[in-house]
Amino acid sequence: MANFFNRAFLGAAEKDEVTPSILVVGTVAFDEIETPFGKTGKIVGGAATYISLSASYFVKKINMVSVVGGDFPADVIKSFQKRGIVTEGLQILKDKKSFFWKGSYHLDMNNRDTLVTELNVLADFDPIIPESYQDSDYLLLGNLTPMVQKKVIQRMKKRPKLIVMDTMNFWIESARKDLDEVLTMIDVLTINDAEARELSGEFSLVKAAKKILAMGPKYLIIKKGEHGALLFHENHVFFAPALPLEDVFDPTGAGDTFAGGFIGHIAQTEDISFANMKRAIIFGSAMASFCVERFGTERLMDLTEEEIDERLQEFVDLVQFDISLVD
Amino acid sequence: MANFFNRAFLGAAEKDEVTPSILVVGTVAFDEIETPFGKTGKIVGGAATYISLSASYFVKKINMVSVVGGDFPADVIKSFQKRGIVTEGLQILKDKKSFFWKGSYHLDMNNRDTLVTELNVLADFDPIIPESYQDSDYLLLGNLTPMVQKKVIQRMKKRPKLIVMDTMNFWIESARKDLDEVLTMIDVLTINDAEARELSGEFSLVKAAKKILAMGPKYLIIKKGEHGALLFHENHVFFAPALPLEDVFDPTGAGDTFAGGFIGHIAQTEDISFANMKRAIIFGSAMASFCVERFGTERLMDLTEEEIDERLQEFVDLVQFDISLVD
């Protein structure tokens, strides 16, 4: 079996002994999920949770910034720490409740209804960056109000090598001015196809990408769920499919898991070239394909390198073809 | 610039002087199309038209079997012949009218409403195979009643090296018994995602593919329109995206153009291995990407080898990535 994962990992370790670090900002929360396959009770979710767990398979130091209430289980925080996630920047507001989202998916899994959203601790979230996080090499801003995302960038004394940001339709509609400003401060924007259309006012994703790249980001990743992801940069475009699975059990967190694998691979290899971003998209897609196999974060807690290698090989088999070139 | 097209073409010519031939059976018809970009009057369409034009860029001999009425323009038939399409098997029923379809596309181009269907000559179509077609190496059965598709296979004295068949939801619903029988007689089935779900009763395309492969075909191609195409064979799966285009002008005929490029590449290279089918999927996708750029068959009438080469290069750039293997 080919061993993609180890190769990159050892490669980074051999290069020097400095461990690259990723600052992850986003929600750590409770979710309650209904899919055609079943229901969960209250389980752990949130963008920063999925991003951090996914990225933790690639680098040893994930600096998490988020906020939870006194109701958040201490043993979950310990399980984060076990996976190399630093929780110094995870604020715990003892008298408040954690952010809660409840949603229900349709059969096609590309559509969902939000049943409950309780902001709780998120209402006045002030993202405090601990001093020990200031040397973070890479920054991933999970979906949060653009104002909070901006604060994080401003509070970094040294600009990270790459800033990746996620957002959603809610902010496009309700905080457009702030969003436009943050877009000028970042390197990579990740959004889904509907959001790309809304942000640009263009139905064609190619036209949408041109307009969005003109707003600030140098790279744009458009996530299309089961239909894969597109990476745009200048006049280049790269496409990675989602792995065709027998069952998509629960898509919650798939986009964040994708983003975690993406930034994880980039940090691990310390290479922000376009060629390496293509590989990062494949790593992100592989991680997302695990996420959807079980409810919540279950599948992300104890993946092995062999499993990840095997999954990457499936992606290679899925899309690689050989057309010999005659120059 | 890499030259994929010439390479394969010269390769086949060098190997021996026998020209591989493709028998194409399907409709030759009039269409009237409305899209968000405009309306056509009555224009030439039909599955066999698109398949044959597309395949004509790959091999010199396309044997067409179809039927038109006295209203079908002689100069269009001449333009077919100019592209190497043999029309001996194109029946002309002088006193009748050609098959006519009128449809309207929604903005997303993945959905369309059929406004008018006039069967006309198609109502009693008896597919007569001229003696000169009997040595056809490959057979592509465009979407027609399963009974007609079966007759064509039965009337071939020598089984072609590969039989590729298209069908549609209408036959799945109204002629299931005949369809099931034809499925045991062919090698490759091409259908779209909705049809795969209907034919198998499975929502998951991976599960659907398993069931359909058990019905007879050794290979299954599931076309997902703008979301690309999947090729299934035994436990293998290959995916090719559609090229992200600024505008999809008119998707009519894209699936047939894809099939024509697919069988065209296979015939040109005389190689029915899985590895070559992957390449054929890419060639088919490239041809389809031209088709949708203009109304009807316009774009397929005078493509150059340079244009096709350039388009193939775009596909290579779109999906190829390099993850080095460590065995």
Task: Indicate if the pLDDT at residue A10 is higher than 70.
Answer: no
For tokens 């894209």, name the residue.
Answer: B254
pLDDT, mean over chain A: 92
**Mean pLDDT, rounded, for B90-94:** 98
pLDDT tens digits, A162-177 = 999 999 999 999 999 9
Distance from CA of B206 to the nearest CA of A (A): 5
Q: Which chain A residues are Cβ-neighbours of B1 within 8 angstroms?
A: 327
Which residues numbered 283-312 in A keep a CB inside 8 Å of some CB on B?
312
**Mean pLDDT, rounded, for B40-47:** 96
Which residues numbered 267-286 in A keep a CB inside 8 Å of some CB on B?
275, 278-279, 281-282
Which residues numbered 204-223 in B keep a CB inside 8 Å of some CB on A?
204-207
Q: Where are the alpha helices (DSSP H) in A143-214?
A: 146-155, 169-174, 176-183, 193-200, 205-213
| pLDDT band at residue B37 under the 50/70/90 scheme | confident
Tokens at A309, concatenated: 């290698």
Q: Which chain A residues are Cβ-neighbours of B319 within 8 angstroms?
A: 238-240, 319
pLDDT tens digits, A255-294 = 999 999 999 999 999 999 999 999 999 999 999 999 999 9
**Mean pLDDT, rounded, for A89-98:** 98
Using the Cβ of A111 and the Cβ atoms of chain B, whether some distance falls under 8 Å is answered with: no
ipTM for the complex shown: 0.87
pLDDT tens digits, B256-309 = 999 999 999 999 999 999 999 999 999 999 999 999 999 999 999 999 999 999
Task: Indicate if the pLDDT at residue B66 is higher than 70.
Answer: yes
DSSP H or E stretch at residue B33: strand B29-35
Distance, in Å, from the CA atom of A24 to the CA atom of A62, rounded to the nearest integer, reads 7
Q: Which chain B residues are Cβ-neighbours of A107 within 8 angstroms?
A: 203
Distance, in Å, from the CA atom of B212 to the CA atom of B189, rounded to the nearest integer, reads 9
Distance from CA of B310 to the nearest CA of A (A): 12
CB contact under 8 A, B325 and A279: no
Distance, in Å, from the CA atom of B170 to the CA atom of B259, rounded to the nearest integer, reads 19
Residue A189 near residue A219, CB atoms below 8 Å: yes
Using the Cβ of A155 and the Cβ atoms of chain B, whether some distance falls under 8 Å is answered with: no
CA distances, B295 to each of A202, A236, A300, B55 (Å):
21, 27, 48, 19
Q: What are phi and psi of A240, to 5 degrees?
A: -125, 130
Task: Indicate if the pLDDT at residue A21 is higher than 70.
Answer: yes
For tokens 């590989």, name the residue.
Answer: A279
Residue A231 near residue A219, CB atoms below 8 Å: yes
Task: Indicate if the pLDDT at residue B175 is higher than 90.
Answer: yes
Full-model pTM:
0.91
